[in-house]
Structure 1
Amino acid sequence: MTKKSHFDVLVIGSGAAGLSLALQLPSDVRCAVFSKGALSSGSTFWAQGGMAAVLHDRDSVEKHVADTLLAGAGLCHPDAVEFTVSQSRAVVDWLVEQGVDFDRRDDQQDQEFQEFHLTMEGGHSHRRIIHAADRTGRAISEVLTEQARKAPNITLLTDRCAVDLIMDGPRCAGVYMLNRTTQGVETYAGKATVLATGGASKAYLYTSNPDGASGDGIAMAWRAGCRVADLEFNQFHPTCLYHPEAKSFLVTEALRGEGARLQLPDGEPFMQKFDSRGELAPRDVVARAIDHEMKRLGLPCVYLDITHKSDEFIETHFPTVLERCLRLGIDPRRDRIPVVPAAHYTCGGVLVDQHGATDVQQLYVIGESACTGLHGANRMASNSLLECFVYAASAAQQIGETIATSEFADLPLWDSSRVSQSDEKIVIRHNWHELRTMMWDYVGIVRSDRRLRRAQRRLNLLNAEVDDYYRRFTITSELLELRNLCQVSLLMVECAITRKESRGLHYNQDHPNTGESAEHSVLVPDNAMAQQHTFPDYHSSARPQGVTK
């Protein structure tokens, strides 16, 4: 059974970006927020470390901007970086106003004006990471969810998996949603649609991300006619817990910020051999160093040691890590933590302007699905939450100012009359495993031309197989995620093939040097409706070699 509903704004994704945008829309704008599962099922809830912000006079916007530009290896857009960083104080003030209880320093007498407790992370020249112990994402998610539940203009719809955007000429007019409870496809019309669906790290066999990180927004925007850029820059978090029962548990970078050392099994530290900043080097440097040592010595993992800190310090600052490790028989107060790198963050995405607007009219993309120009070739630690809030606020403002001039389109209901129930669902499971294994082996931390071409050939076949399955059989959430991951994985490989150098997170052993000029890898779909945005050099009319047809 199908149904049709109308909302002024459709927000697909219930993480930091989606919820904060919904909460900042005018109160007379009716908004629906969709989540694949529970409202807390996305990546925000699991973010441990915190959010980068300039919050005291020992730091400055200029220093934060400089650190971000350095980490981004020449591909950050200075305007985007300055715009984002300059809003950090306002973002913190708004979150505190909503009720987020960030940690404060406990060494000050005046409780009323107590400074926030700030930690240090890789790539930062100052302590500027505001946090709520090591449960920052959870603290933010719970507060924003509570506020959204109380907002009379916001409708929260869980267990909905986006199928595809609905186009009305050059504009996005709505979205088809699979109701995972009824298994029916629902039609939602909107005057504006916002994709806040997160990244695509589930394309890799080992990842710190929850299961829903399947690149849905990027794939849907591409199919609708939006350009994408810089998808070869996949950030691998250096330290995920290595244990057969751990499943995607990230060991926060804040441990290294507080002095934890990376060691080989015999206790030898190794990071100083790779970078003078040691454990506080940017994540790409640390991840490649760990990968190098593991391959050189044939190790299943390396170790993170914070046993030199007091029990009270570890219990106070890292309760989540402590609890999870203890559950697996590891005591970080006494034992070293076994860790391995894992896919963590998608730095590229859908090209957007300062308001999150895309090439398609009335379609916005914010958060990890977007390419704003902030991260460049390597996201600096804890800049991602900040980006979510800054661009959500900017998009909400533009939508609020322009939505009165928009109208609903008359949308067709979903037609499932020509498909049947599948009797070979095992194909999805096999293709899913093959995709993730291949991406890990061929498009991982270290790449080569031959591996990338091999991945490209197989991904073209996989996409054809999945597309045929999609057209023949009744859709399921697993099929939709596989379809999107296959598409985004191919876009990642296409971007990687065009880059004949090593830069930031992209390391190709056949092209180990960094080129003299920093160029973006922009892919253009055949149905593109490109418009000029605020970053003109992002929007070249030239179609890069290897673009998906």
Structure 2
Amino acid sequence: MHFDVLILGSGLAGQTLALKLADHLKVGLFTKKHLTDGASNWAQGGIAAVLADEDSVEDHVQDTFIAGGGLCNPESTKFIIENSAKSIQWLIDQGVPFTKDDSEFGFHLTREGGHSHRRIIHAADATGAAVQATLSDKVAKHPNISIFENHIAVELIKSQQANETAPSVYGAYILNNETGKVETVTAGSTVLATGGAGKVYLYTTNPDTSTGDGIALGWRAGCSVGNMEFIQFHPTCLYHPNAKSFLISEAVRGEGGILKLPNGHRFMPEYDERAELAPRDTVARSIDAEMKKHGIDCVYLDISHQSPEFITHHFPNIQAKCLSLGIDITKEPIPVVPAAHYTCGGLVVDLNGKTSVNNLYAAGEVSFTGLHGANRLASNSLLECLVIADSAAKDILNKQKQVLPTVKDWDESRVTDADEEVVISHNWNELRHAMWDYVGIVRTTKRLERALNRIHLLKQEIQEYYRHFKVSNDLLELRNLVDTAELIVRSALTRKESRGLHFSRDYPEMNAKAKNTILKP
């Protein structure tokens, strides 16, 4: 198959890019599961943007810098925030049903931790789902967009000519999970919009699709990666044996939710004067410290002092989910724990989403623009997807058409069907336990070195399995996870300080000069 543009991933970045290209180019949109199965669909809180008269680009930039621990790139932060209102208007024009009110702006804006103003536009407490449903409908109907569900990339197709200083990508080998065949898909431009890597950890708010695929694919193709040590742990994931990966939105704290111990004691004011509205890294570390100090499995988030009408209006999905598990949030607190939530680092890109490899772009959580620094400010993620997808689309449309080299089909003549799948499930579990135990919210050099040793052993086993057997979805995800885990640990070992989301007991102080961690292949 051949397309003008190949997009891997169907979250907000991938779908925005597809819609902005499709009037002019043939687009192939490939997604691992279904069109709306990515992390974008799970986003609850909303999208941060400068929309109110009392707000300003300068204030939003300042809030982002403070949360980012001195590591935000000034140029990309200003660029993304300056384009925030325009991006929201584009979504409104597409028909996204944001929650309305009787203000002059016409839409309700909420506030989240780290923000100095109400600037989060949202659709009740299921913003991502509302945005994805709206865009998916348009993507599915566009004649120039071909959608391929249940497809996962095996490897990018890479070539380097004698006169080139960097390699070029011309598409990807992609496993069709329905047929079990690896298909060759060529393209003049390839975009990685595959999301983050939360599944590298035992506990995560992310969907099962978040296995670091794009980061690993880009790294193996020759891209640089930046700041992979900064993994954001969301402070409040629902703690219940039957509630897999269910997030309790930051907006619950924004609208007055209080964190308490099992005995009812409110502890956040002891850690930060902003209490529950402190940035996520502070809140997550505080909860982690209280759980370790008291030997408890969770803490409690209490919004029950608000009226039942208020709760039902603002948090209908959270209320329904909790009720289905026997928790009435209008009368009792919600049990919560921190969980891996967002990958602040990724493939290094410029403001057009271009990587260091020719013809290869990245947008969304898979990328590193410098916006998030050492800690992402709440609701800046979907904004980054929108703005970078827009600028990447413009760059691709301005590209000169090129002649693609002849590409060989995938060769599996020397491999056989796997004899034992247990190797994959065992290694998957071992990797995620090791990452949770040794590369979590609080780190030490000894723990990181221990993790790296285990990762290297696992990597050898997985690579040997990959060489001898036909590829499967589970094997490809495991291979990508172990590569991504190695990048996280190597980056963490490089940083000899505590900053933002990276807290080391061996280096508890922050260095005077802020530096990015850039790894090159």
Structure 2 length-normalised TM: 0.98
For residue 199 of structure 2, what is the amino acid of its counterpart? Answer: K
Match of 1:95 among 79, 91, 97: 91
Matches within 5 A, 1:121-270: 121-169=112-160, 170-270=167-267
List per-residue Cα deviations over 1:337-388 (Å, max 9, x = no partner).
0000000000000000010001100000110000001000000000000000
5+ residue gaps, structure 2, are 161-166
- SS across alignment from 2:335: strand
Please name the residue that 1:377 is paired with: 374
CA deviation string 1:387-407 (max 9, x = no partner): 0000000000000010x4223
1:498 equivalenced with 2:501 (yes/no): no
Displacement after TM superposition at 1:409 (Å): 2.8
Aligned counterparts, 1:354-365, within 5 A: 354-365=351-362
1:119–1:254 Cα contact (<8 Å) kept: yes
SS, match of residue 267 in structure 1:
coil
- Residue 51 of structure 2 aligns with which residue? 55
Counterparts of 2:22 and 2:330 in 1: how far apart (Å)? 49
Correspondence for 2:482:
486
Please list the CA deviations of residues 155-211 of structure 1 after superposition, one character each: whole Å capped at 9, or x if unmatched: 111000111100121210110111010011111000000000000010000000000
Contact 2:22/2:145 (<8 A) preserved: no
Q: CA contact under 8 A between 2:11 and 2:38: conserved in structure 1?
A: yes
In structure 2, the residue matched to 1:407 is: 403
Give deviations 1:15-61, integer Å, cap 9, x for gaps.
00000001111513000111101111100111100000010111000
Question: Is contact 2:203-2:436 (8 Å) kept?
Answer: yes
Deviating 4+ runs (over 6 angstroms): none
- Choose from 7, 14, 25 the match for 1:11: 7
Matched, 1:432 2:428: yes
Task: Quote the residue 1:454 is aligned against.
Answer: 450
Percent identity over paired residues: 56
CA–CA distance in 2 between the matches of 1:28 and 1:229?
Answer: 33
| SS, match of residue 462 in structure 2 | helix
SS of 1:32's partner is strand
Partner of 1:539: none
Contact 2:197 2:343 in 1 (8 A): yes
- Following superposition, the deviation at residue 116 of structure 1 comes to 1.3
Alignment partners' CA distance in 1, 2:406 and 2:99: 49
1:307-337 deviation per Cα after TM superposition (whole angstroms, max 9, x unaligned): 0111111111101101110110101011110
1:203–1:214 CA contact under 8 A, matched in 2:
yes
Amino acid at match of 2:198: S
Letter of the structure 2 residue corresponding to residue 376 of structure 1: G
Alpha-carbon distance in 2 for matches of 1:118, 1:126: 9
Structure 1 counterpart of 2:462, from 459, 466, 470: 466
1:189–1:409 Cα contact (<8 Å) kept:
no
**Amino acid paired to 1:145:** S
> Is the Cα contact below 8 Å between 2:158 and 2:170 reproduced in 1?
yes
What pairs with 1:12-27 in structure 2 (closer than 5 Å)?
12-25=8-21, 27=23
- Give the letter for the 2:283 counterpart: V
Letter in 1 for 2:48: A
How many matched pairs? 515
Counterpart position of 2:516: 520
Tell me the SS of whatever aligns to 2:29: strand
Cα deviation for residue 114 of structure 1 reads 5.0
Letter in 2 for 1:142: A
Deviations 1:276-317 (A, max 9, x none): 000000000000000000000000000000001111111111
Question: Residue in 2 aligned with 1:35?
Answer: 31
Please say if 1:395 is aligned against 2:395: no
* Secondary structure in 2 matching 1:152: coil
Matched AA of 1:29: L
Residue of structure 1 equivalent to 2:505? 509
Contact 2:188/2:401 (CA < 8 Å) preserved in 1? Answer: no
Question: C-alpha offsets along residues 485-543 of structure 1, whole Å, 9 cap, x if unaligned?
Answer: 00000000000000000000000001000001011111110xxxxxxxxxxxxxxxxxx
**Is 2:39–2:206's contact at 8 Å kept on the other side of the alignment?**
yes
Shift in CA distance, 341/405, structure 1 to aligned 2, threshold 3 Å: same
* 2:277 aligned residue: 280
Aligned residue for 2:233, secondary structure, equals strand
Aligned-partner Cα distance in 2 for 1:465–1:476:
16
Which of 340, 343, 347 matches 1:343? 340
**Pair 1:117-2:108 in alignment:** yes
Residue 419 of structure 2 aligns with which residue?
423
1:317 to 300, 314, 317: 314
Contact 1:347 1:371 in 2 (8 A): yes
